[in-house]
Structure 1
C-alpha cells in the first residue's frame, strides 16, 4: 500500500489544492471589494431567526453597534442584503432610486400576492399602471370626496362595534374598518358577506407574506399562498363583472378606482388585463389595510396610555364637532383644523411605525460609506435607525408631539412613508383615515388600556399580542 502513496497522494491533493487556491482567490477578491461588515448567519436560514426573535428595531440596533452605524451586511429571506442606517442611508437609497437601485419584493411576498405568471417578473412589469396614475387617484384633490365616506363608515363602525361594548379590541376592529373602507372606495363593495369573503383570506396573506418561505401544510407561508389564491379568484370575479357592466352601459367615467383602472390604457393604447388590474388592486389593499390599521392601533394605544395627550386631542376635536350639525359629515376644511391631532399621529408613527422599511435591489455595483455594494445584492432602509436616534430626536423614547411643530424634523429623519420617487402614494389617504377615526373615537369615548404593559410583536407590522383591549367610557355617562 505504501508503495502506491507517492502516486495516489498527488491525485488526492491536487483537487484540494486547486479548490483552496480558488477559495482564497475568491475570498481575496471579496476582501479587496471591502463589502460591508456583518454576518451571513446560518446556512440556508441566514439571520431570519435572529430577526424574528429580536424584532427589527433591536436586530438593527445591535448590528449597528457591532459592525457599522452606516451600513452592515446580513442574510435575510435567502438574500445577501445590505442594511442602510440613519438619515444618510435613507437619503442615499431614496435619491438613487432608478439610478443604482430598483424596487424588489421578497419571493414569499410575490408568491402570496401575485398570479404565478407574474412571480418571476420585475415589479415594473407587474404594475402596468404608471406611477402617476396612483398619484392622480390619491392626491388631495381626489381624496376630498372620500372624507364624508370615511366619516359615515366610521360612525356606523362606532355604533355597531364600539358603543354596545364596555371593552373593545382595537387592532381587529381597526382592521375591519380599514378593509371595509378600502372595499367601499376602491371596489364599491359594501355587502358585509362579500367583504368577509375577501377579508378572511386577505388576513392569511398579510400574516404570512414575510414569513420563512417554507411551503408545507400548517406554515404561515402555506396559508398565505392559499389565501392569495382565494383573494385573486374573488377579485377576478369582481373585475370581470364590472368590465361587462361598463361595456353594456357604455360608461366612460369611472365611479371608483376599479372602474378607472378598467378605463385607463397603457402607453400603447391597450386596456389593462384583468390580471394586471388585480395585481394593482392587491397592492393598494395591502398598503391601505395592513399599515393603516397598524397606524390607527398605535395612535389609540398612545391616547389610551397618555391622558394629557388625549385631553388636548379631545379639546381640538370637540371644537370641530361643536361647529357642525349632528348629521353633518366631516369635510376637508375640518381635517385641516386637526393640526395637534396630526402631530400626535406623526409622533405615534415615529415611535411605532407600521412599516419597518423597504427593500431594493442593486442594478449596478457602487460604493457607500467606503464599502462596496455588489450588483444584485438586496438593500433595506430601516425606520428605527433614524426615528429612535437621539441625534435627530432628543429623548427618542419620549412621546412629544411638539417635535412636529414649525418646520418639523430634519429631512430624511422621519420616514414612515418612505421618500424619494417611491414615497408611499397613499400617504394622504392614510392621514385622512387616521384623523377621521381619531375624531370619531375621542368625541365619543374616553379610553383606558385593559392591559397596561401589553407586548408588541412584529409580523407584517407591529401587532399587540392581545389586540389592544381598551375600556370605553362614554362622554354621555
Structure 2
C-alpha cells in the first residue's frame, strides 16, 4: 500500500511528457532565435532550429520560382539585405547590384569563399585548408588549364566529340529527351578533357553516381542512412576510388613517357606544385577531379538544355541563330571542319546563349563568409556569418533588366548589361574560371544542333524546377525535324 502514493495515472504521465517536450521545444526555439538578435542586424525571419528557412528556400525552387524566396523577403522587409537561417547556418542575403559589387570587390578583404558543411563531407580535401585557400588553389590550376590558348589546343576534341554525339544520339531519331542527352554529352566531354576517359562502359560506370553527389551538395547537413547527404557521400566514395586508380596509373605513364604533360587536367594536376615545391597528393587530386567533373558537366548540361528549350519556344530567335550558323557552314569547303576562328563569327548565337543564362542561371547563387565585423547599408554584419548572393534575384530584377521575363538577346549588344547585373559566373576574383570553357562548349553545341534540326517541345507548358540546378520537370522531350543528313 505504500507504493500507492507513487502511482501516477497514465493521463497524468502523458500530460507531463507533453509539457516537458513543449518546454524543451520552446527553450530550443528561444536559443535558436537568440543567436540572431543583436545590435543593428538586418531584418528577417530565422525559421526553426537546424532547418531555419531551408525548406522555404528549396520549395520555391521546386515550384519553379527560385527568385521568389528572395524577392518576397526583400519586399517584406523593404531591404535588399536580410537575415535568415539556411542549411543550419546564420545567413544574410545580399541582393541586387550594390550588394553584388560589395561582395565581389571585397573578396579576401571583408569576405571569403565558403563551403557548406555538406560539401566538405562529400569533398574531404576541402577540410585540409580553408575554403578560401582551397578555392584560390583550384582557380590557379583551372585558369592555367582553361585559358584561351589551352582551350584552342583542345578545340578539335570538343568539336569532334560534339559531332559524334549528334551522329550517335540524335540522328535517325524522331524524339529525344534533351536533358538526358545534354548530360550524357557534357559528362563524356568532361571525362575526355579532364582524365582522357574514352571507353563508353567506363564513362557510364563513372557517371551514374554523379546525380546522387550533386543532390547532396546543397542538402541539410544531416548524415543519416537514406538522407541525400549520406547517399552523396557514399556515391562520392565510389567515384573517388575509381579516380584514385586512374591517378596512380597516370603517374606511372608520365614517368615512363606514355602520357603527355598537357593531355588533360589529370596530368596538369599531377605536375602542379605550390610555390614551396609541394605536389598534390593522390587522394586530393582524385577529390578535386571529382569536383571538376561535377562542375564541368552539370552546370554546362543545364545551360545546353535551356538553350534547346528557348530555341524550341521562340521561332524568330531560332531562325536568326540558324541563319548565322549556316553562313559559317556555307563558307566552308565540303567536309571542312568547324575552326576555332569560327567562334568569333557567332556573335548573335552567343547573345542568345547569354540571355538563356540570364533567364535560367545554372548556379543560383553562392556563399561567402564574413572575415570580420563590418557595416553595410547601415546594418552590422557579424564575423563568421554566412553571406549569400543570388543570381536569380538580380537577373529577374526590373531595375537591372527592363521587362525581365522577356527573352531579349539584344541586351548583350554593344557594351552589354551594366556591371554586377549579369552574374551567371559570379564576379570579382572568384569569377568562375570555367566561363570560357562553357562558352566554347555552348557555341559548338549550338552550331551542330541547329544546322541539323528544328524541333518542338512535346509538352509546351513543361514546368522548370530548381533542386540543385534548374531542370525541366519531364526532362524536356522534343520532337525533331531533320534539315538534312549532316556529315
Tell me the TM-score normalised to structure 1 length. Answer: 0.91
Distance of aligned partners of 1:28 and 1:271 in 2 relative to their CA distance in 1, 3 Å threshold: closer
On the 8 A contact 1:147/1:330 being kept in 2, the answer is no
Residue of structure 2 aligned with 1:379, choices 387, 391, 414? 387
Shift of 1:271: 1.9
In structure 2, what is the equivalent of residue 43 of structure 1?
Answer: 49
Residue of structure 2 aligned with 1:306, choices 288, 311, 314? 314
Give the Cα–Cα distance (whole angstroms) in 2 for the partners of residues 119 and 323 of structure 1.
Answer: 53
The residue correspondences of 1:146-295 to structure 2 (distance < 5 A) are: 146-249=154-257, 253-295=261-303
In structure 2, what is the equivalent of residue 89 of structure 1?
Answer: 99
Give the Cα–Cα distance (whole angstroms) in 1 for the partners of residues 82 and 187 of structure 2.
Answer: 37
Deviation sequence 1:235-280 (CA, Å, 0-9, x none): 1110011001111228773322111111121121122111221232
Do structure 1's residue 427 and structure 2's residue 435 form an aligned pair? yes
Residue of structure 2 aligned with 1:391, choices 391, 399, 412? 399
The residue correspondences of 1:278-357 to structure 2 (distance < 5 A) are: 278-357=286-365
Structure 2 spans left out of the alignment, 5+ residues: 1-26
Shift of 1:325: 3.5
Give the Cα–Cα distance (whole angstroms) in 2 for the partners of residues 48 and 175 of structure 1.
Answer: 27
Do structure 1's residue 141 and structure 2's residue 158 form an aligned pair? no
Give the Cα–Cα distance (whole angstroms) in 2 for the partners of residues 110 and 460 of structure 1.
Answer: 16
On the 8 A contact 1:128/1:266 being kept in 2, the answer is no
Tell which deviates more after alignment, 53-62 or 337-346.
53-62
Shift of 1:370: 0.7
Residue of structure 1 aligned with 2:465, choices 457, 462, 469? 457
Indicate the SS of the match to 1:287.
helix
Give the Cα–Cα distance (whole angstroms) in 2 for the partners of residues 243 and 414 of structure 1.
Answer: 41
Distance of aligned partners of 1:318 and 1:123 in 2 relative to their CA distance in 1, 3 Å threshold: same
Do structure 1's residue 63 and structure 2's residue 69 form an aligned pair? no
Distance of aligned partners of 1:130 and 1:45 in 2 relative to their CA distance in 1, 3 Å threshold: closer
In structure 2, what is the equivalent of residue 404 of structure 1?
Answer: 412
* Number of equivalent positions: 452
Structure 1 spans left out of the alignment, 5+ residues: 1-19
Indicate the SS of the match to 2:417.
coil
Shift of 1:440: 0.8
Residue of structure 2 aligned with 1:474, choices 446, 457, 482? 482
Aligned Cα root-mean-square deviation (Å): 2.1
Deviation sequence 1:437-456 (CA, Å, 0-9, x none): 11111000001011111111
Give the Cα–Cα distance (whole angstroms) in 2 for the partners of residues 425 and 345 of structure 1.
Answer: 18
On the 8 A contact 1:144/1:331 being kept in 2, the answer is no
Indicate the SS of the match to 2:362.
coil
Give the Cα–Cα distance (whole angstroms) in 2 for the partners of residues 170 and 451 of structure 1.
Answer: 12
On the 8 A contact 1:299/1:345 being kept in 2, the answer is yes
